[in-house]
Amino acid sequence: MSAYQIEIDVLRNDERWPEPLADQIDHIVSTALDTLGLVIEGPAELSLLLTNDEEQQKLNANWRQKDKSTNVLSFPQIEPDEAIEGMLGDISFAYETVKQEAETEQKQFDHHFAHLLVHGFLHILGYDHLEDDEAEEMEAAERKILARLDIADPYADIVEQ
């Protein structure tokens, strides 16, 4: 076991975000690392922004040239397969989008948030889903982590096209 942990800074820019989520974030991130068998190799920091659609839209437009909000954005600051230490990156979440998706998909808000945090954190660690094989690997990692968190498989009801 590593002597290091990740310091997670949470900035809550929208009061609609439930405060208890902050208590779950450390557990979700550490479960992701444990499940993947990854070790933090030095002091590490992760920044989370709990914001709204308006701010998320601006971030998405500035960084991805997509002028719309999105549920989660990840900004890795380490290279894939690099040591997990230092400033790992930033992850931002849009409250309205996350809430609407949870309602539409009939999921508990905190379970949907946990899935998006795992998804965003996997991007920080170098996972991606641009190619089919990458998407399968990332989804398999998400499923394993979420199962350890006692959260239902978010892909179980998705029908292959």
Binding residues for Zn(2+): 119, 123, 129
The span from the first CA to the last CA of the chain, in angstroms, equals 42
Phi and psi dihedrals of 140, rounded to 5? -65, -40
Query: Is the separation of the CB atoms in 121 and 29 below 8 Å?
Result: yes
Amino acid (one-letter) located at 104? T
Q: Which residues are annotated as a binding site?
A: 119, 123, 129
From 3, 113, 105, select the one nearest 50 (Cα to Cα): 113
Q: Is 82 exposed, middle or buried (0-12, 13-18, 19+ CB in 10 A)?
A: middle
SS3 content of the chain, % helix, strand, coil (to 5): 45, 20, 35
Torsion angle defined by CA atoms of residues 48, 79, 35 and 71, in that order, rounded to the nearest 10 degrees: 40
